[in-house]
């Protein structure tokens, strides 16, 4: 059985776009483009800073109608042109300092993302993988470990949760 | 979930005894006496731990029976554990917009092809 904690803490999403890789890469690496597509629904992104290089930041304001702005940042760790981007995503303050999610402490402080681009027949596949970054404290880890068992529990049985916890 | 409630939940789980109690409750309802059995502690100490867990909303206690059995409340646990659902939504929506953006942006002319666009 795979280690439940690690397996369930990883998020993956893959999308295919009917455009060549060069166009998709441009959309990920230029401020104007990022502002057009990145971010939660219903907000408009204001790019405060984009340093598209390892160690650089993408710092943005998320402006919502009738609600206070939130801020976020990418801290780029690895960039291989037209191939992959690795970055840490987190909320931030307006000075690009790291911050917890304004609405919930449950959100990991930083999420490590890596995205891989591949082109085939004029279409580009974008594969993103994300997981909470860094040391996860014991209490938070407990919740993460509980997750799969809780989902099972919602189906009507707590047996699996019981077994999982007894192994703890 | 409100921040204050989360603080209580994390505080409740910071203690190994309380984590063990929740693990026991995951197997089904239990009375205070049953929950205290594995531990070398007095019943008031057991009750104190349970109060911390109950205040955090992680368990509820029966009203009817004299023994007031405790049961696990899974909703707060699930909410705390689940960062992934909103993250998935964020990316789903962003990719939708990326798709629309890419479709709308001008395509460079393809050299040497009949259907090359010239705009």
Distance (Å) from the alpha carbon of A55 to chain B's nearest alpha carbon = 23
User: Where residue B15 falls among pLDDT bands split at 50, 70, 90?
Assistant: confident
Structure tokens belonging to residue A46: 């204001």
- Are B101 and A33 inside 8 Å of each other by CB? yes
- DSSP for residue B85: H
Instruction: In whole angstroms, give the CA distance from residue B20 to residue B14.
Output: 11
**Which CATH number belongs to the domain containing residue B8 in this structure?**
1.10.10.10
**Is B108 within the bounds of a domain?**
no
- Are A154 and B74 inside 8 Å of each other by CB? yes
Structure tokens belonging to residue B66: 């004299």
**Is A47 within the bounds of a domain?**
yes
**Is A125 within the bounds of a domain?**
yes
Which residues on B lie below 8 Å from A143 (Cβ)?
13, 77, 80-81
Shared-domain flag, residues A56 and A101 = yes
**Is A1 within the bounds of a domain?**
no
Mean pLDDT computed over every residue of chain A: 82
Q: What is the pLDDT of residues A108-134, one digit of tens each?
A: 889 999 999 999 999 999 999 998 887
- Are B88 and A33 inside 8 Å of each other by CB? no
Shared-domain flag, residues A120 and A144 = no
**Which CATH number belongs to the domain containing residue A99 in this structure?**
3.30.530.20
Element (H, E) at A7: helix A4-8
Q: What is the pLDDT of residues A63-122, one digit of tens each?
A: 988 888 999 999 999 999 999 999 999 999 999 999 988 776 667 889 999 999 999 999
Instruction: In whole angstroms, give the CA distance from residue A78 to residue B52.
Output: 44
Say if B104 is an interface residue toward chain A (CB within 8 Å).
no
Which residues on B lie below 8 Å from A166 (Cβ)?
23
**Is A4 within the bounds of a domain?**
no
**Is A89 within the bounds of a domain?**
yes
Q: Identify from A27, A32, A58, A104 which residue to disrupt to test chain B contact, counting B C-beta atoms within 10 A and taking the largest count.
A: A104
**Is B93 within the bounds of a domain?**
no
Classify the complex by whether its ipTM is higher than 0.85, answering yes or no: no
Which residues on A lie below 8 Å from B72 (Cβ)?
158
Distance (Å) from the alpha carbon of A15 to chain B's nearest alpha carbon = 7
User: Where residue A41 falls among pLDDT bands split at 50, 70, 90?
Assistant: confident
Shared-domain flag, residues A100 and A66 = yes
**Is B109 within the bounds of a domain?**
no
Quote the domain boundaries for residue B26. Answer: 3-79
| Pair A60, A39: CB distance under 8 Å | yes
Quote the domain boundaries for residue A112. Answer: 9-131
Give pTM, 2 decimals: 0.64
Say if B100 is an interface residue toward chain A (CB within 8 Å).
yes
Q: Say which of A36, A104, A166 has its CB closest to residue B1.
A: A104
Structure tokens belonging to residue A10: 């990883």
Cβ atoms < 10 Å from Cβ of B24: 20
In angstroms, the Cα distances linking B10 to A139, B55, B58, B80 are 6, 12, 10, 9
**Is B88 within the bounds of a domain?**
no
Interface A-B, measured as beta-carbon pairs within 8 A, has a size of 111
Number of domains in chain B: 1
Return the ∠ at Cα A97 (arms to A117 and B84), rounded to 5°: 50
Q: Mention every residue, 6+ apart, whose C-beta is less than 8 A from residue A4.
A: A145, A148, A149, A164
- Are B95 and A41 inside 8 Å of each other by CB? no
**Is A83 within the bounds of a domain?**
yes
- DSSP for residue B30: B
Structure tokens belonging to residue A109: 């402080």
Number of domains in chain A: 2
- Are B98 and A17 inside 8 Å of each other by CB? yes
Q: What is the pLDDT of residues B63-115, one digit of tens each?
A: 877 788 999 887 777 666 667 777 888 899 999 999 999 999 887 766 554 55
pLDDT at res. B78: 66
pLDDT at res. A132: 84
**Is A2 within the bounds of a domain?**
no
**Is B99 within the bounds of a domain?**
no
Q: Mention every residue, 6+ apart, whose C-beta is less than 8 A from residue B25.
A: B35, B59, B70, B71, B72
């Amino acid at each position: 059985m795979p280690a439940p904690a690690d397996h369930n803490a990883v998020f993956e999403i893959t999308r295919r776009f009917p455009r060549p890789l060069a166009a998709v890469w441009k959309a990920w690496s230029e401020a104007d483009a990022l502002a057009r597509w990145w971010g939660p629904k219903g907000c408009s992104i204001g790019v405060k800073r984009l340093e598209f290089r390892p160690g650089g930041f993408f710092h943005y304001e998320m402006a919502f109608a009738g609600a206070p702005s939130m801020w976020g940042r990418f801290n780029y760790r690895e960039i291989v042109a037209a191939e992959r981007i690795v970055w840490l995503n987190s909320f931030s303050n307006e000075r690009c300092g790291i911050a917890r999610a304004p609405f919930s402490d449950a959100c990991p402080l930083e999420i490590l993302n890596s995205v891989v681009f591949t082109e085939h027949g004029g279409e580009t596949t974008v594969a993103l993988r994300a997981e909470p970054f860094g040391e996860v404290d014991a209490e938070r880890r407990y919740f993460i470990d509980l997750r799969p068992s809780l989902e099972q529990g919602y189906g009507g049985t707590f047996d699996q949760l019981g077994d999982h916890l007894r192994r703890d | 979930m409100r921040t204050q409630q989360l603080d209580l939940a994390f505080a409740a789980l910071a203690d190994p005894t309380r984590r063990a109690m929740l693990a026991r409750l995951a197997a089904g309802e239990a009375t205070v006496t049953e929950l205290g059995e594995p531990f070398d502690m007095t019943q008031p100490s057991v009750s104190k731990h349970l109060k911390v867990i109950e205040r955090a909303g992680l368990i509820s206690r029966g009203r009817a029976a004299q023994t007031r059995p405790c049961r696990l409340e899974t909703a707060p646990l699930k909410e705390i554990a689940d960062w992934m659902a909103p993250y998935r939504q964020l990316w789903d929506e962003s990719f939708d917009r990326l798709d629309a953006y890419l479709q709308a942006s001008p395509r460079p002319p393809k050299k040497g092809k009949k259907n090359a666009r010239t705009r």
